[in-house]
Structure 1
Amino acid sequence: MDRWKSYLLESHSEDTLRSWANRLSLFRFFRAYGGHANDGDSLDVAFRYRDIEQLRGFLATLGLSLVEYEEMPPQPEPGVSYRGDEFAKFPSLIPNTKWAQQPGHSIVAGQRVFIWCGIDTVKISISDDYWVSEENVVAAETVERALEASNLERIDPPANTRNYICPQHYPEYFG
């Protein structure tokens, strides 16, 4: 077995990954880059949005409100060290918005998710910190039903990397 496939199958069997790939219609399993990236495995889905109004509407269909500030909230100063609790007080802002806060850890359809917005993309992730479990797959199936009302363009895979188990990279997993 080559090194990549060995790494890919290190935490979950090929049968498990195939089963998850066929059960999920929107979410894709992401195998962590690992090493110094300090990332973890996750189930991800991504969408493209045009403007803040479209993003607001998307989040509303998921039962979420976008936190928007009237003025620029305090932000960390470059080159200044902060303790973790001090740094956590600074809201993370969505790029190219007038002070809209990243949704971050949220609840969608009763499931814990992490939502992060780029300049024109929104990604929803589900995991147990660094790992994906069967419970995460069940949660993703529930969130997918909530996402059916979305009219945003889906980005598949969420990023162009073989680390996503999707039909383009792993057609053998999709029957």
Structure 2
Amino acid sequence: MNRWTQYLFEEHDEKKLRKWSRRLKFFRFFRALGGHANDGDSLDVAFAYVEPAQLDTFLAGLGIKLVKFDAPPPQPLPGDAYPGDAYLQFPSLIDGTLWQQPGRCDIMGIEVFIWCHAGVLKISLHDGYAVSEQNVRDAEAIEKLLARVVLERIEPPADSLHYIFP
């Protein structure tokens, strides 16, 4: 077994990942980059969008209301240092809008992480740094809502060998 295969199946064996992959229509298992990246495994799905209005419609269909600012909110200044708690007060904005990134939010009471950047909306599920059977069940439930989405799904969610899909 080479090092990549060993790493890929370190947390979940191949049989389990194949089973999960067959159960999921849209979400894909992502094996963390590892090392010093401080990332974790996740289940991800991504959609392409052209105009911000598409995001608003898409997210409203999932029960998520975007925070929209009438004027540009304060943003951190490049080169200035901020204490962690002060930096967290600056809202992250979706590119080309005055709308706050959804970030951590709920879909049908299920905690997800949503980020919109460079024409891609990505939804991620995980338990800390891992993916659990509960995450797979939650993804299956969310996929019922996603089945009627008109945005183009990106397959895989990003160009990476770390995605496992059928």
The TM-score range, normalised by the shorter chain, is: over 0.9
Q: Which range is displaced more, 79-88 or 135-144?
A: 79-88
**Residue 6 (structure 2) aligns with:** 6
Does the residue aligned with 2:29 lie in a helix, a strand or coil? Answer: strand
Structure 2: gaps of 5 or more residues:
none
Does the residue aligned with 2:144 lie in a helix, a strand or coil? Answer: helix
**Residue 137 (structure 2) aligns with:** 138
- The answer on whether the counterparts of 1:61 and 1:149 sit within 8 Å (CA) in structure 2 is no
Structure 1: gaps of 5 or more residues:
168-175
Q: Which range is displaced more, 3-12 or 31-40?
A: 31-40
Tell me which amino acid in the other structure corresponds to 2:143: E
Q: Distance in 1 between matches of 2:83 and 2:19?
A: 43
Deviating above 3 A after TM superposition, structure 1's stretches of 4 or more consecutive aligned residues are none
**Residue 120 (structure 1) aligns with:** 119
Identity %: 55
Q: Distance in 1 between matches of 2:96 and 2:13?
A: 41
Tell me by how many angstroms 1:149 deviates. Answer: 2.2
Q: TM-score under structure 2 normalisation?
A: 0.97
Q: Distance in 2 between matches of 1:111 and 1:146?
A: 13
Q: Distance in 2 between matches of 1:69 and 1:129?
A: 31
Q: TM-score under structure 1 normalisation?
A: 0.92
Q: Which range is displaced more, 82-91 or 100-109?
A: 82-91
- The answer on whether the counterparts of 1:30 and 1:163 sit within 8 Å (CA) in structure 2 is yes
Does the residue aligned with 1:161 lie in a helix, a strand or coil? Answer: coil
Q: Distance in 1 between matches of 2:33 and 2:39?
A: 7
Say what the alpha-carbon RMSD is for the aligned residues. 0.9
- Structure 2 matches for 1:1-175, cutoff 5 A? 1-97=1-97, 99-167=98-166
1:11-56: per-residue Cα shift (whole Å, max 9, x none)?
0011110111001000000001111221110000000011011111
